[in-house]
Amino acid sequence: MKALMTTWLAAMLLMVGSLAHAQANLTIEITRGSDRATPVAVVPFAGGENLPEDVAQVIHDNLERSGYFAPLPRDAMIEQPSESGEVRYRDWRALDVRYLVVGRVSQEGSGYSIQFELMDVSGERRMLGEVLTTPQGQLRKASHHISDQIFEAITGIRGAFSTRIAYVTAQGVGDDMQFGLYVADADGRNSQQVLSSVEPILSPAWSPDGGKLAYVSFETERPAIYIQNLASGQRVRATSFEGINGAPAWSPDGRKLAMSLSKDGQPEIYVMDVGSQDFQRITNSSSIDTEPSWAPDGRSLLFTSDRSGGPQIYRHDLASGEQERLTFTGNYNARGRFAPDGESIFLIHRSNNGYQVARQDLDSGRLVVISESRLDESPSVAPNGTMVIFATQQGNSGVLGAVSADGRASFRLPSAQGDVREPAWSPFLN
């Protein structure tokens, strides 16, 4: 018995210990390109043959996935320069390419040196040029970093290719299920397991510094909110009241956690001070109040309430205590999330076409559906506001989908096994 206990304990420690590498990588399938995408070309980097990662291809894929760019296929390139001096602009203009990326990779010690340049083809001008060194095993990370710089140089918007996503996996049915909590790079690669359990895991939420995840786990056969440090694996149980302990959401300063607790009878919104563990009750109604989310300025909270009958999204002003209904289109609008600029919200909207991701402009109140399946859930906005990742269905499996904020471009991240759901896009990580 004692030996058994020890084995179990060891297994548990492994489960929630420091991030374990596990094969739950997601792949990417572009489902729709934007008709407004800017034509670009990322030339294969000289010296890039036989390296563990094809740097130019990673950049190409990142730019394409963003929906902002339509990279030229390699086989359409008539020349492959590796530095600005070799570029014949007229040839690229003939191919309708607006921006051109060239570069080279070379071994340096145990790592690599990467040189890249970005050119404006019509202006025949170099916009960016840099040499960076990267340790072994970090070529992909460096490629994301380069993608971020290129994206920002052209669009003026900070790139989000170096960010990460958290998500939940599930397999099985009824009493026989297995759940996993993972974090992976924003392109679905490099996945690492954070937690594994035979009981449900849901609602992962990144702390604003990107160092911690709050989530709901049923591992005690009751829901409780945990906060886990991703680097050390250490965690604390933040709340385990009777009833629902759900929907944790970090305040922008990382000091508070909004959540839904039903300890008083029905789910109400509370704000917990993470340091002092003091609670402030935000809602007081006989209806369901859940799914809180902070405004980027930290001054108000969105939440879902069925006080008007069906679920609609409300905004609570923390200074005045006033609550205002925001959604009026249709009879089901839930789980609102602010865009980083605070000017619009993303939510789940039910129409005759099912449950879909929608964006509502806060000034005009106009709601636009931006996803296409019938069972879409859990929209989470990239920290630069350009993309929304969400859970959707492909056949009978749950997969992650992403759509550009304007709805024009989309892609999917299918998994080899089981359902993937509850994506949460990390903040900027450096």
Partner 1 sequence: MQLKSYARTLAVALSLAFVAGCSSSGGTQDGVMDGSRDGAAGTGTAGSGQISGSRMGDGAGQQADGRIPQQRTIYFEFDSDRIRSEFEPVLASHARYLRSNGNARVVLQGHTDERGTREYNMALGERRARSVERFLGVQGVSPSQVEVVSYGEERPAARGPNEEAYAQNRRVVFAY
Site for partner 1 in 364-383 (CB under 8 A): 374-375, 377-378
DSSP 178-241: EEEEEEEETTS-S-EEEEEESS-EEEEEE-TTSSEEEEEE-TTSS-EEEEEETTT--EEEEE--
Among 97, 302, 334, 339, binds partner 1 (CB under 8 A): 334
CA 108 to chain centre: 33
CB of 236 to partner 1, least distance (A): 4
**Nearest CB to partner 1, comparing residues 311 and 427:** 311
**What order of strands is seen across the sheet that includes strand 300-305?**
289-294, 300-305, 312-317, 323-325
**Is 350 an interacting residue with respect to partner 1 (CB under 8 A)?**
yes
**Is 237 an interacting residue with respect to partner 1 (CB under 8 A)?**
yes
Q: What's the CA gap between 218 and 112, in Å, rounded?
A: 45
**Is 14 an interacting residue with respect to partner 1 (CB under 8 A)?**
no
**Nearest CB to partner 1, comparing residues 4 and 76:** 4
* Nearest Cα to Cα of residue 223 among 186, 176, 263, 180: 263
**Is 12 an interacting residue with respect to partner 1 (CB under 8 A)?**
yes
What mask of x and - would describe binding to partner 1 in positions 163 to 202, judged by CB under 8 A?
Answer: -------x--xxx-x--------------------x-x-x
**Is 97 an interacting residue with respect to partner 1 (CB under 8 A)?**
no
**Nearest CB to partner 1, comparing residues 304 and 360:** 304
**Is 280 an interacting residue with respect to partner 1 (CB under 8 A)?**
no
CB of 291 to partner 1, least distance (A): 5
Angle, CA of 204, 205 and 211, to the nearest 5° = 110
* Nearest Cα to Cα of residue 189 among 296, 286, 62, 17: 62
CB of 163 to partner 1, least distance (A): 23
**Angle of helix 55-65 relative to helix 139-155, nearest 10 degrees?**
40
CA distances to 237, 281, 290, 315 from 264, rounded to whole Å, are 20, 11, 14, 22
**Is 286 an interacting residue with respect to partner 1 (CB under 8 A)?**
no
Q: What's the CA gap between 77 and 221, in Å, rounded?
A: 58
**Nearest CB to partner 1, comparing residues 65 and 235:** 235
**Is 325 an interacting residue with respect to partner 1 (CB under 8 A)?**
no
Among 31, 89, 189, 279, binds partner 1 (CB under 8 A): 279
CB of 276 to partner 1, least distance (A): 10
* Nearest Cα to Cα of residue 383 among 158, 146, 133: 158
Q: What's the CA gap between 256 and 277, in Å, rounded?
A: 9
**Nearest CB to partner 1, comparing residues 155 and 393:** 393
Residue showing tokens 């309708």 = 96
**Is 243 an interacting residue with respect to partner 1 (CB under 8 A)?**
yes
In sequence order, which residues have a C-beta less than 8 Å from that of residue 47 and are 6 or more positions away?
104, 105, 106
**Is 348 an interacting residue with respect to partner 1 (CB under 8 A)?**
yes
**Nearest CB to partner 1, comparing residues 49 and 221:** 221
**Is 219 an interacting residue with respect to partner 1 (CB under 8 A)?**
yes
Token pair of 85 as six digits = 């001096």
In sequence order, which residues have a C-beta less than 8 Å from that of residue 189 and are 6 or more positions away?
25, 26, 140
Count residues binding partner 1 (CB under 8 A). 65
Among 247, 302, 382, 402, binds partner 1 (CB under 8 A): 247
**Is 304 an interacting residue with respect to partner 1 (CB under 8 A)?**
yes
Token pair of 413 as six digits = 């991240």
**Nearest CB to partner 1, comparing residues 85 and 275:** 275
**Is 220 an interacting residue with respect to partner 1 (CB under 8 A)?**
yes
Residues lying near partner 1 in the complex (CB under 8 A) are found at 5, 8-9, 12-13, 16, 170, 173-175, 177, 198, 200, 202-203, 218-224, 226, 234-247, 260, 262-264, 266-267, 272, 277, 279, 288, 290-291, 304, 311, 332, 334-335, 348, 350, 354-355, 374-375, 377-378, 393, 396, 422
